[in-house]
Amino acid sequence: MTANQYLEMYQRSIDDPAGFWSEIAETFYWKQKWSPEEVCNENLDVTKGPIKIEWFKGGKTNICHNAVDRYVEAGDGAKIAMYWEGNEPDQDGKLTYSELLDKVCQLANYLKSVGVEKGDAVVIYLPMLMELPIAMLACARIGAVHSVVFAGFSADAIAQRITDCKPKVVITCNAVKRGQKLIPLKDIVDASLVESAKNGVTVGICLTYENQLAMKKEDTQWIAGRDVWWQDVVPNFPTRCDVEWVDAEDPLFLLYTSGSTGKPKGVLHTTGGYMVYAATTFKHAFDYKPTDIYWCTADCGWITGHSYVTYGPLLNGATVLVYEGAPNYPDPGRCWDIVDKYGVTIFYTAPTLIRSLMRDGSVYVDRYSRKSLRVLGSVGEPINPTAWRWFYNVVGDSRCPISDTWWQTETGGFMITPLPGAWPQKPGSATFPFFGVQPVIVDEKGREMTGECSGYLCIKNSWPGAFRTLYGDKDRYETTYFKPFSGYYFSGDGCRRDKDGYHWLTGRVDDVINVSGHRIGTAEVESALVSHPKCAEAAVVGIDHEVKGQGIYAFVTLVDGVPYSDDLRKSLIMAVRSQIGAFAAPDKIHWAPGLPKTRSGKIMRRILRKIASRQLDELGDTSTLADPGVVDQLISLSDS
């Protein structure tokens, strides 16, 4: 796309959003069209009434039909929908669009046979097997609401989500191998079901896929009556299953994400707007062509895997690669080995992986041809210019544009992103808004700033892919996103606009830290730490981390009389691993006999951040502390 084409389309999308998006929506299959006056109903201003975002209301469609059946019916059934590459380089598989349709229908029929109906929740806890997107699509086909839980979350974290959304069925597999490590996923689910039952939520069925490459049936713990082997039942069902036509505003999925309190937020996306938005953003930001082989390294447990492994690409009839293993196994050249093996043309990943591969050295990249690559993408956190240049020059041989896509679980799809070729790139900038998106940068008081400026990133209007609420918590939805700055959606990110109008994301401005592109609430980690019987209080801050972007630095105060020791440090870290997951384990525990608090008892995180990053000459004014002495004490314990 040229800059002029972009500008023209962008202007139209802002001047006439209803016309712009209707035209695109019409290229999808709708059982019944939306009412013309209801293309978009919105109120983003809490002072004018409840927040409301609706797109294509009254329209009846099905996202699974549009992502799979539509291509089979059009005669593209023999096209590869998915390639699958396993943990070991000799493990692989593939599915055509027709085969995918058969598999989705069989599972959909099974789910119906056990009583899953439109609107029911289904929790999916699977690694990156093809069964993961198949399970998502099967739910969507029958109007069930999937909630995928990343297979790195702990039993407690799954239980918390199950308790919140009360699924009829949980879908998992017995185990997975990641690198050399065997992870018994079913055992983790078993523990979570015991936990959720204590909270009054009993799940009747645990459908378990036997992942023979990792663990045999016989070695799997089993609860007769509740547990069902996928392979025993699903293949017996017919490969045809009528779709459930749902309203554009019927829920499609729930995905839990971290916020600034301990309780994860159930971000709810609906069907029609999300479908149109995920597909359109995919198509333009990656300059998609039907011959592309597309690979996104994200796991379907995160939003990136929802919109850009499963829905966005399949809605475009693309060929997607699903990779189960670790990106550096058996060695740091694995990604480029995969790129050459399948002829990957579009490669979408996260800065943390780029930095880690960069550290391993270019030799691992140079060994492979990578000549199939055409477009690169980055997501998850701001990409530092050094990593950007390495990605561009070494991985992409200075010929592949990089789409640095800024967006969020809440936004459903890309919000600010380059479109390949449309304008000169600036390493580290997400550049300009996608069609229909009006980003604004506001100051502390919520006043829009123009020209070169820096402040809080908000969005002024609704877009089809926007989430519609936080499941069961409309108040938190309004308070978190719409009350901070009246009239706007508040992203929680800081942003700078330069003299050429490019956007530069500067990171979260709330109590969320971004570790390897994973959002983690400081409050969640703190609540896991204080659940440890020897921990009295905890305060968690983010610190710069060379590979992960941000690391987790935890200050802990112990219960009176308990001595600090290395064993205790380890068991505090274990508490976080078992309540959230290994990816949230603190990088550093700092013993704090006292924490810097104001006289009203508020912890001064500003000071803790400075101590954690050893910027001791920038502590600022400490005179307002109830006990200024704790600062020196903390500094003296820094290396304990």
Q: What CA–CA distance (Å, rounded) separates 390 from 330?
A: 22
Residue closer to ligand WTA, measured from CB, 116 or 515: 515
Q: What CA–CA distance (Å, rounded) separates 515 from 172?
A: 26
Identify the residue among 39, 72, 111, 505 touching ligand WTA (CB under 6 A).
505
Residue closer to ligand WTA, measured from CB, 210 or 381: 381
Minimum distance from residue 443 beta carbon to ligand WTA (Å): 19
Identify the residue among 404, 511, 524, 526 touching ligand WTA (CB under 6 A).
404
Query: Using an 8 Å Cβ cutoff, are 313 and 67 in contact?
Result: no
Which residue in this structure is represented by tokens 């796309």? 1
E strands of 265-315, at which residues? 265-270, 293-296
Phi, psi of 2 (to 5 degrees): -90, 165
- Using the contact rule CB under 6 A, the part of the chain among 167-175, 201-209, 329-337, 398-406 near ligand WTA is 398-406
Kindly write down the DSSP assignment for every residue of 550-596, as one continuous string.
EEEEEEEEE-TTPPP-HHHHHHHHHHHHHHTBGGG--SEEEE-SS--
Identify the residue among 257, 297, 356, 550 touching ligand WTA (CB under 6 A).
257
**Within 493-557, where are the H helices?**
522-530
Q: What CA–CA distance (Å, rounded) separates 128 from 385?
A: 30
Identify the residue among 220, 429, 514, 522 touching ligand WTA (CB under 6 A).
514
Q: Which of 605, 612, 571, 564 is nearest to 588 (CA)?
A: 612
The binding track of 180-209 with respect to ligand WTA, each residue x by CB under 6 A or -, is ------------------------------
Q: What CA–CA distance (Å, rounded) separates 465 from 55?
A: 9
- Using the contact rule CB under 6 A, the part of the chain among 96-104, 174-182, 406-414, 588-596 near ligand WTA is 406-414
What is the size of the binding site for ligand WTA (CB under 6 A)?
23
Minimum distance from residue 165 beta carbon to ligand WTA (Å): 18
**Beta bridge mates, 520:** 513
Q: Which of 567, 544, 568, 545 is nearest to 556 (CA)?
A: 568
Minimum distance from residue 441 beta carbon to ligand WTA (Å): 14
Please report, as residue ranges, which positions from 365 to 394 form the binding site for ligand WTA (by CB under 6 A).
Answer: 378-382
* Angle in degrees, CA 272, 418, 1, rounded to 5: 85
Please report, as residue ranges, which positions from 567 to 596 form the binding site for ligand WTA (by CB under 6 A).
Answer: none
Minimum distance from residue 402 beta carbon to ligand WTA (Å): 10
Is the peptide bond between 330 and the residue preceding it cis, with omega within 30 degrees of 0?
yes
Minimum distance from residue 411 beta carbon to ligand WTA (Å): 8
CA 200 to chain centroid: 28
The binding track of 2-41 with respect to ligand WTA, each residue x by CB under 6 A or -, is ----------------------------------------
Number of alpha carbons in the 13 Å side-chain half-sphere of residue 345: 11
Distances (CA, A) of 71 to 94, 98, 311, 322, 590: 17, 9, 14, 19, 56
Residue closer to ligand WTA, measured from CB, 69 or 493: 493
Minimum distance from residue 296 beta carbon to ligand WTA (Å): 11
- Beta strand 588-591 with 549-558 is parallel
Please report, as residue ranges, which positions from 442 to 501 form the binding site for ligand WTA (by CB under 6 A).
Answer: 491-493
Residue closer to ligand WTA, measured from CB, 21 or 256: 256
- Using the contact rule CB under 6 A, the part of the chain among 166-174, 246-254, 288-296, 405-413 near ligand WTA is 405-413
Residue 510 appears among annotated catalytic residues = yes
| b/e map 168-189, b = 16+ CB within 10 Å | bbbbbbbbbbbeeeebbbbebb
Minimum distance from residue 383 beta carbon to ligand WTA (Å): 7
**Within 67-130, where are the H helices?**
70-71, 97-113
Please report, as residue ranges, which positions from 287 to 316 form the binding site for ligand WTA (by CB under 6 A).
Answer: 302-304
Residue closer to ligand WTA, measured from CB, 65 or 519: 519
Residue closer to ligand WTA, measured from CB, 122 or 303: 303
Residue closer to ligand WTA, measured from CB, 244 or 381: 381
Identify the residue among 10, 34, 323, 406 touching ligand WTA (CB under 6 A).
406
Q: What CA–CA distance (Å, rounded) separates 525 from 528?
A: 5
CA 610 to chain centroid: 29
Please report, as residue ranges, which positions from 408 to 427 form the binding site for ligand WTA (by CB under 6 A).
Answer: 408-409
Minimum distance from residue 517 beta carbon to ligand WTA (Å): 7
Residue closer to ligand WTA, measured from CB, 345 or 514: 514
- Using the contact rule CB under 6 A, the part of the chain among 275-283, 325-333, 407-415, 458-466 near ligand WTA is 407-415
Minimum distance from residue 295 beta carbon to ligand WTA (Å): 17
Active-site pick, 219, 510, 627, 632: 510
Query: Using an 8 Å Cβ cutoff, are 99 and 131 in contact?
Result: no
Minimum distance from residue 259 beta carbon to ligand WTA (Å): 10
Identify the residue among 241, 293, 430, 523 touching ligand WTA (CB under 6 A).
430
Residue closer to ligand WTA, measured from CB, 85 or 493: 493
Q: What CA–CA distance (Å, rounded) separates 64 from 269?
A: 15
Distances (CA, A) of 88 to 295, 297, 327, 357: 17, 16, 11, 19
Please report, as residue ranges, which positions from 126 to 155 form the binding site for ligand WTA (by CB under 6 A).
Answer: none
Residue closer to ligand WTA, measured from CB, 250 or 493: 493
CA 168 to chain centroid: 24
Q: What CA–CA distance (Å, rounded) separates 230 from 221?
A: 15
CA 405 to chain centroid: 13
Residue closer to ligand WTA, measured from CB, 87 or 257: 257
Structure tokens at 271: 């069907």
Minimum distance from residue 417 beta carbon to ligand WTA (Å): 8
Minimum distance from residue 9 beta carbon to ligand WTA (Å): 21
Binding status of residue 519 toward ligand WTA by CB under 6 A: yes
Residue type present at position 497? R
- Using the contact rule CB under 6 A, the part of the chain among 138-146, 402-410, 545-553, 560-568 near ligand WTA is 402-410
Residue closer to ligand WTA, measured from CB, 59 or 264: 264
User: Cβ contacts of residue 51 below 8 Å, gap of 6+?
Assistant: 43, 44, 477, 478, 481, 482
The footprint of ligand WTA (CB under 6 A) covers 257, 302-304, 378-382, 404-409, 430, 491-493, 505, 508, 514, 519
What is the set of active-site residues?
A: 510
